[in-house]
Copies of this chain bind each other. A is one copy, B any other.
Amino acid sequence: LRIVLLSGGSGKRLWPLSNGIRSKVFLKLLGSEDGGKESMIQRVCRQLAMAGLLSSTTIVTSDSQVEITQSHVGAAIPIISEPCKRGTFTAIALAAAYFHSRLKLDETETICVLPADLFVETAFFHQLNQLPAVLADPGTQLALIGASPLKPSSQYGYIVPQIEPGAKIYRVARFIEKPDEAAALRLIAQGALWNCGIFAFSLKFLLDCLLKKGLPAVYEQLLERYEALPEISFDHEVVEKTAGRVVIPYGGTWNDLGSWEALTGHFASPVIGRGRITADSHNTHLVNELPLPVHVIDVPDVIVAASAEGILVAGKSKANLIKDQLPEERLSMFEEASWGTSRVLDYSPSDEPGRPVSVTRKLELLPGKAVARHMQRQRKGLWTVLAGTGIFTLEGQSRPVQAGDILQIPGGASHGIEAVTALQLIEVQIDSGSRPGEERN
């Protein structure tokens, strides 16, 4: 049994903590076993380890999220890196081609695909071990896991099974995507289950899919064609078109933690970050990544979330509306990478998207980690070392630096810094070209 963890989706429903850059699976907000905090992807990997499945797990994510993924789950878990996002089918196909042509896995190997934002009990993962036996039935090509609905939600897809008395696994009759509440209630009465986006199949089944679509089963070849492929979802391309489908009911807690309302229900504590909530603010949660204090007084049932991107104050049941209110992002206000973090403190907008006239950031590097960059030609930079010691490299020349040092970076220069002890820098970047009328006397 091979587990494929699909990661790297991004969205705006958990703005301002998640955005186009940072996926919700990296938010360290959940309570962990040791009383601390963990991210969704850390929780899933911890649970996979408890079920003895982590050593056979592979993560598929986009190039841009490889570093942060490793900083969350460590370097031991193999990561297949997508050059761009092309939908769940294409991501799963890439994993299948990798298993086939790189790892030379047997075609009878069972593959189970899980979303990285899966929030379930650990018992769920133990249940996965029955999948090879389920797929050994010659009439079964695809096995799904469906969660018992807790309410007639209009937010989820439903799997309608052909109920057979006494059976523990059912044939799938049909799928219904996001029905209204009344329809959802009728479906639940028929035994319908929530579609959790979990698929299991044999490697051969997916290689046959690739063959039928004229796609290569060799990893490097598929990777080469990746960008040119259309965006295809596994649900539409495979699940809906396959005859031998079964669904295994899962009776425990399931959630995709895709909304502030769902996510706050599993917060490690009501206040995460700097701030206070008064006792009369029942069922209110605060998560604050800013260095400023946040005080919430007598406001029940809201989420207050603050980051370098912005501040959200929302009634929990309507917090999802934020996704429709946001303008296109032009500048990432924060970045979390394997080397540490970067946070925008100030910027001056320009007409050119993504390139402000000036930008001031705080960089924090973990000990032993390094960052390397190339300065744009029309720009110059300045690093002030606030704390720590490190090795600064400019155009190939290295020298030790420490708190108090000022490092100038000319336009076009390659530069980088390695933290010996934990480093804090203030970075100021500014357009270096004098504009007409601003010539110096």
Task: List residues of A whose CB falls within 8 A of some B CB.
Answer: 15-16, 275-276, 278, 280, 288, 290-299, 302, 304, 306, 308-315, 317-319, 321-322, 325-326, 333, 345-348, 357-358, 360, 362, 380, 382, 384, 386-387, 389, 400, 402-404, 406, 408, 424, 426, 428, 430-432, 434, 438, 440-441
Given contacts A358-B387, A384-B430, A404-B432, contact A292 B311 (CB under 8 A): yes
Known: A296-B314, A403-B430. 13 other contacts (CB 8 A): A275-B311, A276-B325, A278-B318, A291-B347, A292-B309, A294-B311, A295-B313, A298-B315, A298-B318, A313-B313, A380-B404, A402-B434, A403-B434
Which of B278, B295, B346 sits near A345, CB closer than 8 Å? B346
Pair A314/B292 contact, Cβ less than 8 Å: no
A357 to B308, CA, bound (A): 22
Q: Does B297 lie within 8 Å of A306, measured CB to CB? A: no
CB–CB B314/A295 < 8 A = yes
A404-B434, A434-B402 known; A295 and B317 CB under 8 Å?
A: no
Q: B313, A299: Cβ atoms under 8 Å?
A: yes
Bound together, the chains give a CA A264 to CA B14 distance in angstroms of 29
Chain B residues contacting A275 (CB-CB under 8 Å) are 311
Chain B residues near A438 (CB-CB < 8 A) = 389, 402-403
Q: Are A297 and B313 in contact (CB under 8 A)?
A: yes
Find chain B residues with CB under 8 A from A333 CB: 292
How many identical subunits does the complex contain? 2
Q: In the complex, which residue of chain B has the Cβ closest to the Cβ of A406?
A: B382
Residue among A295, A362, A380 with the highest chain B CB neighbour number at 10 A: A295
Which residues of chain B come closer than 8 Å to A387, judged between CB atoms?
348, 357-358
Shortest Cβ distance from A392 into chain B, in angstroms? 12
Determine how close the nearest CB of chain B comes to the CB of A428; give it in whole angstroms.
4
Q: How far is the CA of A292 from the CA of B292 in the complex (A)?
A: 13
Which residues from B are CB-within-8-Å of A430? 384, 386, 403-404
Contacts of A382 in B (CB 8 A): 382, 384, 406
Chain B residue contacts of A302, Cβ below 8 A: 299, 313
- For A362, the closest partner residue in chain B by CB is B346
Q: Which residues of B contact A280 (CB under 8 A)?
A: 318
Contacts of A308 in B (CB 8 A): 292
User: Which residues of B have CB within 8 Å of A319?
Assistant: 297-298
Given A292-B309, A402-B438, A430-B403, are A348 and B386 neighbors across the interface (CB < 8 Å)?
yes
Residue ID in chain B nearest A315 by CB atoms: B298
Q: Inside 8 A of A293's CB, which chain B residues have their CB? A: 310-311
Q: Which of B299, B345, B403 contacts A360 (CB 8 A)?
A: B345
Closest to A388 in B: B438
CA distance A304 to B296 in the complex (A): 9
Distance A319 CA – B322 CA, assembled complex (angstroms) = 25
Given A295-B313, A360-B426, A404 contacting B384 (CB threshold 8 A): no
CA distance A406 to B384 in the complex (A): 12
A-B contact pairs, 28 of them (CB 8 A): A288-B311, A292-B308, A292-B310, A294-B310, A295-B311, A295-B314, A296-B314, A297-B314, A297-B318, A298-B314, A299-B313, A304-B311, A345-B345, A346-B362, A348-B424, A357-B386, A358-B387, A360-B426, A380-B404, A382-B384, A386-B428, A400-B440, A402-B438, A402-B440, A403-B431, A403-B438, A404-B430, A406-B406
**Which of B297, B311, B314, B362 is within 8 Å of A321, CB to CB?**
B297
Q: A401 to B403: give the CA distance in the assembly, Å.
A: 27
Report B-chain residues with C-beta under 8 Å of the C-beta of A357: 386-387
Give the complex CA separation of A325 and B279 in angstroms.
Answer: 13
